[in-house]
Amino acid sequence: MSNHPELEMAIDDIVNEAISHDDSGRTVNLVLDKLKQPEAVKKKILEEFENILRMLNFGNLSDDLFKRWYIDGRIYYHVVVNDKDPKSGIQELRYIDPRKIRKVREVKKERDPISGLPTAKVPDSPQQRSFKGTLVFINALVTLVGAYVFIGL
């Protein structure tokens, strides 16, 4: 879609209008004033938010990330956490091409107690996605950041 010069110029105009930088060069801030949590929790959320921005190199790549989201309509990252030390937080964010993601549904087959016929029960789980057969669970904090940064991820 963005291979056509007219569309590329229009997309660039949209990206330039959507992303604004303040005097310090920041493009996004997380405001937790109305969050009803202790200050220690707010501090940890802000630290992890800054960690995610640093891992994404958001200060330099915010325009490119927004453009990628705008063109594809979605953006996915594999959240890497150390299984042996989960308190150390997110270790790495790996970009996943959204064209390779397929929704995974776990179908549970049950028998209807009255008729005895097999029925299928599909639980709705929007946070499960498949990347070439591997389940990727999107971290709630990344989803929160994505909703804030990428306008409804």
**Residue ranges of domains in the chain:** 5-149
Looking at the chain, the whole-number percentage of residues with pLDDT higher than 70 is 76
Q: Give the contacts of 58 (CB within 8 A, at least 6 positions apart).
A: 27, 28, 52, 65, 149
* pLDDT 10s digits, 84-126: 888 887 888 888 888 887 777 677 778 878 877 777 766 655 5
The pLDDT of residue 122 is: 63
Looking at the chain, the whole-number percentage of residues with pLDDT higher than 90 is 5
Sign for the CA dihedral angle at 38, 42, 48, 52 comes to: positive
The pLDDT of residue 1 is: 58
Alpha-carbon distance of 58 to 97, in angstroms, equals 18
pLDDT bucket at 81, cuts 50 / 70 / 90: confident
Q: Which residues pair with 138 in a beta bridge?
A: none
